[in-house]
């Protein structure tokens, strides 16, 4: 496919993804009634419902044709079947809003790939790790970037502008990296697009840099030959789900289920499907 036509296709997919996300956010999950009391495992099982929030992308949840797909969605469906309850699944891309909703008891569980750090552990409880990941710089390859060589040294990020989704976990790492190199890295938070769409914008030349997790980058690189993802931004990190600290039995029950489920052929097939 010619280069220009392929870029038009990417932009069309970007628009479709945003529209689908808006429709899903308005059409899924039913009412957002806030529980009047804290909910731990016993209250959840008694109610027969678990309120879960995830993000809209090919790991969380996305629309494929006339069906819903996503690693987190299929994990939650397996949990729903195991526990014999109904899962009310909500979509919200902002991690900060996910966690605020968790604290406000709109949600019982945040099921997305959350890089666990000490700052978050002070406030929230995290399950045993589900995946290992790291953050990478997404830029264009030399042949798609007017012969400009990709950045390989962190020091060369000084003065560069990196666009990321609003409340992206990458923001904390980029701020720390800015301190490490002793110079300013300009971070622009995009309130409209998420990591996958921003990677597409790098490929099309609309922006020069973004950051996303390596597993997502590897998957997108198969579809977007323009992008270079060889420069690491972080070390390998543990990624987990989050619950409130006042839900210790829920946390323990999730950990027991995750430890069992991760040893099954079903999980291995699911992991290969999305990663």
pLDDT tens by residue, 98-124:
999 999 999 999 999 999 988 899 999
**How does the average pLDDT of the chain come out, rounded?**
89
For 261, the token pair is: 């489920």
pLDDT value at position 74?
96
pLDDT at 10 over 60: no
CA separation for the pair 169, 160 (Å, rounded): 19
Which residues sit opposite 228 in a β-bridge? 139
Please report the pLDDT score of residue 9 as a whole number: 54
Residue pLDDT, tens place only, 148-161: 999 999 999 999 99
The strand pair at 62-64 and 227-232 is best described as unpaired
Per the model's pLDDT, the better-predicted residue between 70 and 32 turns out to be 70
Give CA angle at 93 (100, 119), nearest 5°.
45
The residue count of the chain comes to 275
Contact 16, 56 (CB under 8 A): no
pTM metric for this prediction = 0.80
Q: What is the pLDDT of residues 187-243, one digit of tens each?
A: 999 999 989 999 999 999 999 999 999 999 998 999 999 999 999 999 999 999 999
Q: pLDDT per residue over 120-168, tens digit each?
A: 999 999 999 999 999 999 999 999 999 999 999 999 999 999 999 998 9
φ/ψ of residue 226, rounded to 5: -75, -25
Backbone angles phi, psi at 126, to 5 degrees: -120, 145
Cα–chain-centroid distance for residue 35?
26
Asked if residue 23 has pLDDT above 50, the reply is no
d(CA 98, CA 93): 8
Q: Residue 15's pLDDT band (boundaries 50, 70, 90)?
A: low
Q: pLDDT value at position 8?
A: 53
Chain centroid to Cα 19, Å, comes to: 18
Q: What percent of the chain has pLDDT over 90?
A: 74
Collapse the DSSP code of 158 into the 3-class scheme (helix H, G, I; strand E, B; otherwise coil) and give the result: coil
At 240 the pLDDT is 97
Q: In what order do the strands lie in the sheet with 135-140?
A: 210-213, 135-140, 227-232
Judge whether residue 22 has pLDDT over 50: no
What is the percentage of the chain residues whose pLDDT exceeds 70? 87
């Amino acid at each position: 496919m010619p280069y220009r036509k392929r870029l038009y296709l990417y932009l069309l997919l970007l628009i479709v993804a945003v529209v689908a996300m808006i429709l899903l956010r308005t059409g899924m999950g039913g009412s957002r009634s806030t529980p009047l009391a804290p909910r731990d495992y016993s209250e959840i099982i008694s109610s027969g419902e678990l309120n879960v929030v995830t993000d809209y992308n090919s790991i969380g949840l996305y629309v494929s044709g006339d069906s819903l797909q996503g690693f987190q969605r299929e994990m939650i469906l397996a949990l729903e079947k195991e526990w014999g309850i109904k899962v009310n699944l909500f979509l919200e891309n902002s991690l900060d809003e996910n966690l605020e909703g968790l604290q406000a008891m709109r949600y019982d569980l945040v099921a997305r790939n959350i890089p666990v750090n000490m700052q978050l552990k002070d406030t929230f409880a995290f399950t045993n790790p589900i995946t290992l990941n790291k953050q990478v710089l997404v830029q264009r390859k030399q042949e798609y970037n007017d012969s400009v060589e990709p950045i390989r040294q962190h020091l060369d990020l000084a003065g560069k502008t990196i666009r990321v989704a609003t409340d992206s976990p990458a923001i904390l790492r980029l701020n720390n990296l800015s301190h490490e190199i002793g110079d300013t890295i300009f971070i622009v938070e995009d309130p409209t697009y998420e990591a996958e769409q921003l990677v597409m914008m790098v490929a099309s030349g609309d922006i020069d840099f973004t950051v996303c997790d390596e597993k997502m980058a590897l998957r997108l690189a198969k579809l977007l030959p323009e992008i270079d993802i060889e420069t690491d931004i972080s070390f390998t990190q543990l990624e987990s789900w989050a619950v409130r600290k006042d839900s210790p039995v829920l946390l323990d029950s999730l950990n027991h289920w995750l430890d069992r489920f991760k040893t099954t052929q079903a999980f291995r097939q699911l992991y290969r499907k999305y990663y």
